[in-house]
Amino acid sequence: MFGRLGAPEIILILVVIVLLFGAKKLPDMARSLGRSARILKSEAKAMKEESRTSTPAPAEEQPPAPRVIQAAPGDVTSSRPVSEPTDTTKR
């Protein structure tokens, strides 16, 4: 009963969304959703590369280089350095 959505149901859902958010806000919402997806994808890729290239820690520790996250290619206004938490505990 609830598992199948036909064309009339999808059209009704889209009409309700347009009525709730307004036609002017929908492109902005879609744009910000795309930026968020790109950031998530780039962070996941960076984490995979970091785990792949990580080696056992040498005797002397070096401070990590700051990373920069870009929301979109060529969008320099949203680039910002990321401050990562540091481990302050001594072993």
pLDDT tens, per residue, the chain with 91 residues:
567 888 889 899 988 888 888 878 888 888 999 999 999 999 999 999 888 877 555 556 666 677 766 566 665 555 555 566 666 776 5
DSSP, res 51:
H
Residue ranges covered by each domain of the chain:
25-52
List Cβ<8 Å contacts ≥24 apart for 75-80: 78/35
Q: Determine contact, residues 1/38, Cβ cutoff 8 Å.
A: no
Q: What is residue 69's predicted lDDT score, i.e. its pLDDT?
A: 65
Whole-number Å distance between alpha carbons of 82 and 43:
11
Instruction: Indicate the pTM of the whole model.
Output: 0.40
Beta strands in 1-49 (DSSP E): none
pLDDT at 17: 85
